[in-house]
């Protein structure tokens, strides 16, 4: 059991990296606390597997340190880190029985047989593999093989953490949900740190208590699924989390108004003040690029009406899609496409309508990062 700390960590696959673009992992500090159920979520190529391989010891970072309970482990090989890693595809011995596959990590450490059997039976029971224990692994289905692969990660009592790298890719969709529940159950029972890599937000939020969202080699936010939804710290999180993601407007402060292109936006006084400040010479001196100011709003917080109000803007509705419990409305404002979620039973709207942005849910982003209006 251990706390895993990444300190000033960076990794480049290039021998002589020339700039940020040559780094698969850009300078980061991060702590995975003992016993946490974590997800590492991000799009393909953002550096998830690289980070996992650095933690397990399959890869040595080009810069920075990996610490287990405060001890530097950079040079420790995987087998001495006591970390179990479950990969996308099952890693098992086809010619061995399921029992022997599960027993392998224990026997490999010279665990006495009287201890091997109860542990294998316990793990087989959790993963519902008991009836298959005498079968040769090669005769199993892909799902069953992956369960054995997971089981091999779980049999050892001495593991510091279990790292899962998209472990349910080969699993039948119907079984996926069940296995995710199983993993959660196992986490609660054994109190092992688990880091689960995925590019699927649903998978991440059903498994993890806290999610690290990765983008271009950096963890841009580490928070609960709720925090990621309610206060995305980076525009990428807003866009990636949610269904569909957050809408963004590139704005500027002009003539005492917050302008989205030619459209003045009715925002709160506080937000107006914040955008004005970010656009000022003062802000430039503080190194804030006044060219990159965005307002973000989730589709859930845009109200659509057929008639104007004092704080609504005229829009052009392009489509309304009925999705059962809600409708997804697509509209154009200042030539840009937006999405709004309409609750069930919402009155029909025509092509020319009006959008109202709920001021409490409009967020300000400068250079892609969230700025709390009033704290800028």
Ligand X SMILES: Nc1ncnc2c1ncn2[C@@H]1O[C@H](COP(=O)(O)OP(=O)(O)OP(=O)(O)O)[C@@H](O)[C@H]1O
Residues that bind ligand X (CB under 6 A): 13, 24, 42, 44-50, 199
* Closer Cβ to ligand X, 13 or 125, answer by number: 13
- Quote the tokens at residue 39: 């997800």
Query: How far is Cα 127 from Cα 133, in angstroms, rounded to an integer?
Result: 11
Q: How far is the CB of 165 from ligand X (least distance, A)?
A: 8
Report the alpha-carbon distance of residue 363 to residue 361 in Å, rounded: 6
Closest contact distance (angstroms) between CB of 11 and ligand X is 8
Cβ closest to ligand X, residue 48 vs residue 294: 48
Q: How far apart are alpha carbons 168 and 234 in whole angstroms?
A: 28
Decide the pairing of beta strands 247-250 and 218-223: unpaired
CA atoms of 270 and 253, how far apart (whole Å): 13
Q: Tell me how far, at minimum, the Cβ of 375 lies from ligand X, in Å.
A: 32
Comparing CB distances to ligand X, the nearer of 135 and 199 is 199
b/e map 91-126, b = 16+ CB within 10 Å? ebeeebbbbbbbbbbbeeeebeeeebeebbeebbeb
Name the residue nearer to ligand X (CB basis): 86 or 251. Answer: 86
Between 46 and 103, whose beta carbon lies closer to ligand X?
Answer: 46
Q: At closest approach, how far in Å is the CB of 46 from ligand X?
A: 4
- From the CB of 22, what's the least distance to ligand X, in Å? 10
**CB of residue 141 to ligand X, shortest distance in Å:** 24
Note the helical H segments in 97-248: 98-108, 113-126, 142-154, 173-190, 201-207, 225-230, 235-240
**Is residue 244 reached through a cis peptide bond, with omega within 30 degrees of 0 on the bond before it?**
yes
CB 165 within 8 A of CB 88: yes
Q: In whole angstroms, how close is the CB of 153 to ligand X at the nearest point?
A: 19
Minimum separation from the CB atom of position 44 to ligand X (A): 3
Residue number, 62 or 330, with CB nearest to ligand X: 62
| Nearer Cβ to ligand X (52/123) | 52
Phi, psi of 268 (to 5 degrees): -70, 160
In angstroms, give the least distance from the CB of 83 to ligand X.
Answer: 17
Distances (CA, A) of 132 to 97, 148, 293: 9, 10, 58
Note whether 98 and 34 are within 8 A (CB).
no
Closest CA to 103 of 55, 154, 66: 154
**48 or 156: whose CB is closer to ligand X?**
48
| CA-to-CA separations, 278 to 39, 74, 264, 367, in angstroms, rounded | 34, 42, 17, 11
C-beta of 90: minimal distance to ligand X in Å?
17
Q: Is 338 in contact with 362 (CB distance < 8 Å)? A: no
Q: Which is nearer to ligand X, 49 or 193 (CB)?
A: 49
Nearer to ligand X, 48 or 119 (CB): 48
Calpha distance 43→144 (Å, rounded):
27
């Amino acid at each position: 059991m251990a706390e895993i700390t990444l300190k000033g960590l960076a990794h480049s696959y290039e021998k002589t990296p020339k700039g940020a673009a040559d780094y698969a992992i850009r300078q980061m500090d991060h702590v995975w606390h003992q016993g946490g159920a974590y997800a590492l979520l991000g799009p393909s190529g953002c550096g998830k597997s690289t980070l996992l391989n650095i933690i397990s010891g399959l890869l040595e970072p080009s810069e920075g340190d990996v610490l287990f309970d405060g001890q530097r482990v950079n040079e420790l090989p995987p087998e001495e880190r006591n970390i179990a890693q479950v990969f996308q595809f099952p890693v098992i011995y086809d010619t061995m029985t399921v029992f022997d596959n599960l027993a392998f990590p224990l026997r490999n450490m010279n665990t006495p047989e009287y201890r091997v059997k109860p542990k294998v039976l316990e793990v087989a029971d959790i993963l519902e593999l008991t009836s298959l224990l005498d079968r040769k692994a090669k005769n199993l289905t892909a799902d069953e093989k992956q369960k054995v692969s997971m089981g091999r990660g779980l049999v050892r009592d001495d593991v510091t953490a279990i790292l899962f790298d998209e472990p349910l890719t080969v699993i039948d969709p119907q079984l996926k949900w069940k296995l995710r529940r199983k993993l959660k159950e196992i986490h609660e029972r054994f109190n092992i740190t688990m880091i689960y890599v995925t590019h699927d937000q649903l998978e991440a939020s059903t498994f993890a208590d806290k999610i690290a969202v990765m983008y271009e080699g950096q963890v841009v936010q580490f928070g609960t699924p709720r925090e990621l939804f309610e206060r995305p710290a980076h525009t990428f999180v807003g866009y990636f989390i949610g269904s569909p993601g957050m809408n963004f407007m590139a704005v500027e402060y002009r003539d005492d108004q917050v302008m989205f292109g030619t459209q003045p936006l009715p925002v709160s006084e506080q937000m107006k003040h914040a955008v004005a400040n970010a656009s000022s010479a003062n802000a430039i001196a503080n190194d804030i690029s006044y060219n990159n100011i965005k307002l973000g709003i989730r589709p859930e917080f845009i109200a659509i009406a057929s008639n104007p109000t004092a704080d609504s803007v005229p829009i052009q509705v392009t489509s309304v899609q009925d999705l059962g419990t809600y409708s997804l409305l697509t509209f154009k404002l200042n030539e840009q496409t937006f999405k709004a979620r309409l609750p069930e039973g919402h009155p029909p709207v025509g092509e020319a309508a009006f959008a109202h942005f709920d001021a409490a849910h409009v967020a300000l982003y400068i250079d892609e990062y969230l700025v709390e209006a009033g704290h800028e």
